[in-house]
């Protein structure tokens, strides 16, 4: 017998980590999306309400990432009943923080909890990918860390191809999100179709050095190498307002490096001190304030744990 309702949280993510396009990502302690699901006798998942999206997200069950992921879990479980979904969006859309992935992950985890958590987190991965695919393609650089937490190396779309890397203790992050949407499709459209051999060697070497720095907990080293993307950032830089100025301001405030988060326009600075990360966040926001661009800045850390069940109400509860 399913529970009456369940609620889950899925964290925002920073994909790519500069040089690791589509193969590296990390989870953030905050912000994230919440999904509440309630059992209903009719089959399938439906959207009851969405809060925080400004009316922009589709309510159509075949187009909403949370609904698609929820339906995928229901199908996997082989249940005949359905769920009603309330989605609490705390992530801006098209922001480079894995917004669509967080919604899909939170929905999958909530539905699984509603039925007593019969599936493990890795077993929920296909459902989360189904939801993400509706918006930005069938890849796990956001879904992986949001679902599983920490820093993930993604070499495919099955659970055995997502590898958790150690989380260095001294990493603090400062992020700024200007109020400028950069849809993933647009950010992918500007990428080069061919890469020359010199750049390929440089990029693969940088990824190897980044993984090495992560394992050695070398915060300065990982921040330095994250900035050495010679393929993706040059192609996307024109989509990120004031990228150069924000990077310069972040470093003057003490940041060790700054990269585009996912497809952008969120920019993520790496620091080695909590107070410094707070100052860096303010300095980055000030750049946008000076030119009249609305933005949101925050400082946070890497979330070791991924999506979490917040509460479950059984049928006997009031």
Q: Give the residue numbers annotated as catalytic, written as ranges.
A: 132, 184
Buried b (16+ CB within 10 A) or exposed e, 159-174: beebeeeebbeebbbb
DSSP 20-68: -TTTEEEEEEEEEEEEEEEEESSSEEEEEEEESSTT-S---TTT-HHHH
What distance in Å separates the CA atoms of residue 302 and residue 111, rounded to the nearest whole number? 25
153 neighbors 162 (Cβ within 8 angstroms): yes
Q: What is the phi-psi region of residue 150: left when phi exceeds 0, alpha when psi lies from -120 to 50, beta otherwise?
A: left
| Helices H / strands E in the chain, number of each | 10, 11
Gap between the terminal Cα atoms of the chain: 17
Instruction: Tell the residue number behind the tokens 């060790």, with chain if given.
Output: 256
154 neighbors 142 (Cβ within 8 angstroms): no
283 neighbors 253 (Cβ within 8 angstroms): yes
**What tokens appear for 196 in the block?**
């020359």
Q: Helix, strand or coil for residue 5?
A: strand
Q: Helix, strand or coil for residue 254?
A: coil
What distance in Å separates the CA atoms of residue 108 and residue 127, rounded to the nearest whole number? 7
């Amino acid at each position: 017998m399913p529970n009456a309702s369940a609620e889950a949280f899925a964290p925002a993510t920073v994909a790519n980590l500069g040089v690791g396009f589509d193969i590296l990502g990390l989870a953030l302690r905050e912000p994230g999306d919440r999904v509440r699901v309630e059992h209903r006798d009719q089959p399938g998942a439906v959207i009851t309400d969405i809060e925080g999206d400004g009316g922009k997200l589709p309510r159509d069950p075949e187009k909403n990432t949370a609904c698609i992921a929820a339906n995928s879990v229901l199908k996997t479980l082989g249940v005949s009943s359905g769920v009603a979904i309330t989605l609490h969006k705390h992530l801006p859309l098209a922001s480079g923080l894995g917004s669509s992935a967080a919604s899909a992950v939170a929905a999958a985890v909530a539905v699984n909890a509603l039925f007593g958590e019969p599936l493990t987190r890795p077993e929920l991965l296909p459902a989360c990918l189904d939801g993400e695919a509706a918006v930005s393609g069938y890849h796990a650089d956001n879904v992986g860390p949001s679902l599983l937490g920490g820093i993930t190396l993604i070499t495919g779309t099955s659970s055995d191809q997502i590898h958790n890397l150690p989380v260095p203790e001294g990493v603090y992050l400062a992020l700024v999100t200007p109020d400028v949407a950069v849809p993933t499709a647009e950010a992918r459209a500007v990428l080069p179709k061919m890469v020359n051999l010199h750049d390929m060697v440089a990029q693969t070497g940088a990824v190897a050095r980044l993984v090495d720095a992560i394992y050695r907990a070398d915060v300065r080293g990982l921040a330095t190498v994250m900035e050495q993307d010679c393929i993706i950032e040059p192609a996307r830089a024109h989509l990120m307002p004031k990228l150069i100025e924000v990077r310069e301001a972040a470093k003057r405030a003490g940041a060790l490096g700054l990269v585009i988060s996912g497809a952008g326009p969120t920019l993520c600075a790496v620091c080695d001190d909590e107070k410094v990360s707070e100052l860096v966040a303010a300095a980055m926001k000030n750049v946008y304030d000076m030119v009249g661009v609305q933005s949101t800045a925050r400082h946070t850390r890497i979330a070791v744990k991924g999506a979490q069940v917040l509460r479950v109400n059984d049928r006997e509860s009031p």
